[in-house]
Structure 1
Amino acid sequence: MTQELKLHTYFDQWMKLYKLDAVRPVTYRKYEMTHRQLVGLVPDLKMSELSRLTYQQLLNDYAETHERQTVMDFHRHIKSALIDALEEGLIDRDPTRKAIIKGTPHRKHKVKFLSQHEVQDLLNILVLDEGVNWDYFILLTAKTGLRFAEALAVTPKDFDFAHQYLNISKTWDYKSVESGFAPTKNKSSVRKVQLDWQTVIQFSQLTKGLPENEPIFVRSKVYNDTVNHYLERLCKKANIPVISVHGLRHTHASLLLYAGVSIASVARRLGHSNMTTTQQTYLHIIQELENQDNDKVMKHLASLI
């Protein structure tokens, strides 16, 4: 009976019918996560028992251990399913109407990055004379600011050594059981990343003889933790702060900002969908640079007297 249909059962049927193969695998996994949360939070809640009160209680329970933005995403998933349920006559009113989104206080995520001197110390200990290895992967990430999945997907054919750029048009879905090429995070992530002449020489030598359309760094199943642990050992060996591979991306962007590169250019190089993302991520650096600019303005104005 429809009246006995449980919420998590309906959501499971709905996401398989409307979302499976219609959205990217990484997006579908988020729907699967929402389903698992429903099973854990309200294993016995029936569709017939849904009301604004029971739905708000569900959101409140989820919000006890999640930040507001995460709760908002959770709410959007369920709301989409319940709007369809309403149109199908499975429920007679929208229980998500006027829902209040709560959440735990937003944690300030500290952006870890290395100074230019520390990056140089790291690059100095890389072993780059033994063919393809994780040292080359770390070099590429530090020099380009690529996301982990983007760097894994790089093939020899993606390099345009004559014009000194790297074409980013795909990622490597390392999280799936059957790994393979996948789309980029967003349309802005499809981009050409300019390369310095040293990197061009290093990778033109490295990629000689390698299959043109196969990822350079993927030989078997790859785990993010494996590369991060390797990078951790290198950082300790170089006597510099320990950062992750994603930290190298932050480092790349930070060094460019300190060098005076515009926010717009940094955003394009990183593949951000808009400059707001860049500004929010590197707010502390931007504010520091603005303070330096203010000092320059005051000194200039004072010199006019």
Structure 2
Amino acid sequence: MASYSRTSSGWKAQISFKDTNGDFRKKTKSGFRTKADAQAWANEMEVEKNNGGTLASADILFYEYFEDWYELYKSNLRPASYKNYVINGKNLKKYAPNLLLSQINRSTYQLLLDDFAKAHAKGTVKMFKEETSAALRNAYADGLLKIDPTINTINKGTDTPKSVNSNFLDSEDILKFTSYLESGPIDTETFIYYTLLLSGLRYGELCGLRPKDVSVDTKEITVNLQRLTRAPFTTSVPKTEESKRTLIMPERWFNYLGKYRRTVGMQSEFIIPLPVSNDQAIKHLRQRLASIGIDNKTITLHGLRHTHVSWLLSNDVDIHYISRRVGHKNSIVTQTVYAHLLTEHVHRQDEKVLDIIG
């Protein structure tokens, strides 16, 4: 049975069929001027299918094949993970709008990766390459490609620490910002900023925090859930066991929490009843920082998590403790992400050793 939807480029039609292996597949075509045109194409495909024709073809735009592939094989992923495939589908359409699957070989695929890498960091290119390569290997396995075009392709994304280096506050700015938050009116956004700074939580983890996850007696909070920060605000368990954790919090945070709860109400299942969108929270974070003389135009909510780690490292807190506190899988992850800060940490340790043995 065919399905139809309107897109920015016209009408899109999609039909289901069984391939030569007996597996269900989807064939999609978009860009039809009218719904009737889309229906006419779908009818042609249905006739071909009923006459024993093979609908699986390499004469399909690569981005359309990619969309069909992730809709078929990745629909059971967590919403946040699935969204990455949707984003990279849009990236494919942007960077290779006219590239047919049949035109892809190792050279054309490497050129696509190189083009994408010109404007993206290595981590972003890595995910783009992993997801598109998986789709291409699937096409090769189905006989739609004669060779595997992903072999020996490389990632030429910019290898820069910009994502962390410019995405945190220094010690002086931390003190200035926490003082600003503690002395001013309390709302959901200020509570978000304050908590991320003092805890190192991920934003989704903070949004999943419930009153029963907070212990005033032991001064601890426990991470058991993460929550989407956009509608429908669904919850899920953290991806790794290490992300499920309990961490100590200072007395001043509990005082701030009490004031916040009295402001927003105490009846919600979650401490943050309605999450603020990530874009809005970042925009207002930068505006608030600018209002107190902190000029950081690249800081993000995740940057407050980076700030928490850098704050602890600058005060010589053990790297293994930090890794457990922020929910990293192991301390190697922490060391990799914060390598530039660890260099300073090692220098301070060297000075201590020389003081002892000198």
TM-score by length of 2: 0.72
Instruction: Indicate which of 154, 157, 163 corresponds to 2:212.
Output: 157
Tell me by how many angstroms 1:130 deviates.
6.5
From 77, 82, 97, the counterpart of 1:43: 97
Indicate the residue corresponding to 1:192 in structure 2. Answer: 246
Query: Which structure carries more relative contact order (alpha carbon 8 Å, separation 6+)?
Result: 1
Q: Kindly provide the amino acid, as one letter, of the partner of residue 255 in structure 1.
A: W
Greater shift, 130-139 or 246-255, is seen at: 130-139
| Contact 1:63–1:104 under 8 Å retained in 2 | yes
Alignment partner, residue 17 of structure 1: 72
Q: Residues 35 and 165 of structure 1: is their aligned pair in 2 closer, same or farther, counting only changes over 3 Å?
A: same
The equivalent position to 1:139 in structure 2, one of 175, 194, 218, is 194
- Cα distance in 1 between the residues matched to 2:345 and 2:58: 61
Q: What does 1:207-218 correspond to in 2, within 5 Å?
A: 207=261, 210-211=266-267, 213=269, 215-218=270-273
Aligned to 2:175: 120
Do the aligned partners of 2:137 and 2:148 also contact (CA within 8 Å) in 1?
Answer: yes
**1-structure distance, mates of 2:224, 2:266:** 19
8 A contact 1:157–1:212 mirrored in 2: no
Would the alpha carbon gap of residues 261 and 93 (structure 1) be closer, same or farther in structure 2, given more than 3 Å must change?
A: same
Match of 1:292 in 2: 348
Shift in CA distance, 47/168, structure 1 to aligned 2, threshold 3 Å = same
| Bigger strand share | 2
Give 1:79 shift: 2.3
Quote the residue 1:81 is aligned against: 135
Larger Rg: 2
| Partner secondary structure for residue 191 of structure 2 | helix
Contact persistence 1:68–1:101 (CA under 8 A):
no
- Deviation by residue 1:60-79 (Cα, 9 ceiling, x = unmatched): 33333333443332222222
1:278 to 327, 334, 338: 334
Q: Is the 8 A contact 1:170 1:182 kept in 2?
A: yes
Mean alpha-carbon deviation: is it higher for 260-269 or for 270-279?
A: 270-279
Match of 1:7 among 58, 62, 69: 62
Shift of 1:260: 2.5
Task: Name the counterpart of 2:154.
Answer: 101
Task: Note the C-alpha offset of 1:197.
Answer: 2.9
Gaps of 5+ in 1: none
Structure 1 equivalent of residue 257 of structure 2? 203
Q: Shift of the alpha carbon at 1:252?
A: 1.9
Q: Distance in 2 between matches of 1:255 and 1:126?
A: 17
RMSD: 2.9
8 A contact 1:193–1:269 mirrored in 2? yes
Structure 2 counterpart of 1:85, one-letter code: A
- Please report how far the alpha carbon of residue 264 of structure 1 lies from its aligned counterpart in structure 2 after TM superposition: 0.7
AA partner of residue 124 (structure 2): T
Map of 1:30 onto structure 2: 84
After superposition, give the CA deviation of every residue in 1:225-278 in whole Å (9 maximum; x if it has no partner).
333343334434544454543333222222222322100111111112222232
Name the amino acid aligned to 1:278: T
**Matched residues in 2 for 1:6 and 1:77: separation?**
16
Q: Look up the equivalent residue of 2:325 and give its one-letter code.
A: R
Question: Which one-letter code corresponds to 2:180 in the other structure?
Answer: I
Give the AA of the match of 1:272.
H
Percent pairwise identity? 27
State the partner residue of 1:251. 307
| 1:105–1:166 distance in 2 versus 1, CA, 3 Å | same
- 8 A Cα contact 1:131 1:206, kept in partner: yes
Unaligned runs of 5+ in 2: 1-54
For 2:186 and 2:123, locate their aligned partners in 1 and report how far apart those are by CA, in whole Å: 44
SS in 1 for 2:158: coil
Q: State the AA in 2 paired with 1:75.
A: K
